[in-house]
Structure 1
């Protein structure tokens, strides 16, 4: 698994979803029942900022970033900064090196600040990033971040009334990551219960969002803070 490639593809997909956000629609409901579209975009921006901190500082900070007045623009800028930082750390850039670590990890996380993950994803020999009370390989952190970015990109498109399935090849690679890092303790807190049996959904993207508590299919959200279903 190439975590950097997964992250880049997830960001590209999410940027495509964010591109359909129209002015004056930040109050729309989303598949994330607690967040309207503006809050979802700010959370997405915060997740990307956490990944940027992991790449550049070797640790993920304790506090979320301050909400930007224009969350669409902020996310675009942050996504570009993250890709640039990853290229410096691992690409063909002069003086590229491992992201510097610090003496002690701080609390927080890319998928959910304050939530630490540990799983058996590849990552041996990679730089370590302080996340909560443990350290994770940077590749593991990037793979987990890629799941969150892609799925929230799907959420954004749904909130905008646009059908944008997660690309099948990308979803097929992200689903094992999601199954590794989301357990029963996350259900009802960060994710809803899975929707239907895995065999209920023919496309990998549908299986991924269903596993994370979303109902695949055409957009069902109109406006307001709660989910509004079309007749």
Structure 2
């Protein structure tokens, strides 16, 4: 089960699910916009670069990009079909093996996802997650955390300058403890990383999810 799917299981019991139903899709669109900006700013890289270590423990860049592709497919399935199958890795079209084609495919899927979720806040839709009903806004809010943090992961791996916008990060910080309670971390996230007082909201968000925002790209494989 992926981190996104596990978070969706937890999200079904979130106390603020009703509020998320009102603004979850807006958060997802903002996260998708940040992801698109990040993908557009990536430096050119080669097939060898796909083997770089990432902030996701045990994953290289290729694995991270494929996971992001699967997450986009899962979120699109949720809005298009009204269901998420927790035992299914998603229905993403295999991305081109050449790095530029892979990133271009991710950009296009991110654009389609943002457009598909544009009306979900207003229509009160419900998504079946592993056979259980979850409000669409909750699914969207969960997806927003996933997209924003993995976009940061990709940028950090590639050496691109990247900071999750403070307004988006502050909202996602309020959601993250609900979507990733302590009992759900094992096997999915490292323990939270301590950050200095006054750290930017984006740094605090990725640190809560086990990333060290102060760790250099060169040190990722250490």
User: The TM-score by the shorter chain falls in which range?
Assistant: 0.7 to 0.9
Name the larger-Rg structure.
1
- 2:216 aligned with 1:220, yes or no? yes
**C-alpha deviations, 1:114-135, integer Å up to 9, x for none?**
xxxxxxxxxxxx2110112422
Structure 2 distance, partners of 1:176, 1:58, is 26
Task: Specify which structure has the bigger relative contact order, considering alpha-carbon pairs within 8 angstroms and separated by 6 or more residues.
Answer: 2
1:140 CA drift (Å): 0.3
Residues 32, 111 of structure 2: 8 Å contact kept: no
Equivalent residue number for residue 53 of structure 1? 77
Deviation of residue 21 (structure 1)?
Answer: 4.5
In terms of fraction of residues, the more helix-rich structure is 2
Q: 1:68 is paired with a residue of what secondary structure?
A: coil
Alignment of 1:16 with 2:47, yes or no, is no
CA offsets, 1:181-229, max 9 Å, x none?
10123323111100016x6452111111110001113x6224xxx9335
Root-mean-square deviation over aligned CA pairs: 2.2
Number of equivalent positions: 191
Find the partner of 2:91 among 59, 62, 65: 65
Q: Report SS of the residue matched to 2:50.
A: coil
CA drift of 1:145 comes to 0.3
Task: Find out whether 1:176 has 2:174 as its counterpart.
Answer: yes
- 4+ aligned runs moved over 6 Å, structure 1: none
C-alpha contact (below 8 Å) 1:161/1:221 kept by paired residues = yes
Structure 1 residue 76: deviation in Å? Answer: 1.0
Number of the residue aligned with 2:199: 202
TM-score (norm 2): 0.78
Which structure 2 residue ranges, 5 or more long, are not aligned?
A: 1-19
Gapped regions of structure 1 (runs ≥ 5)? 92-96, 99-125
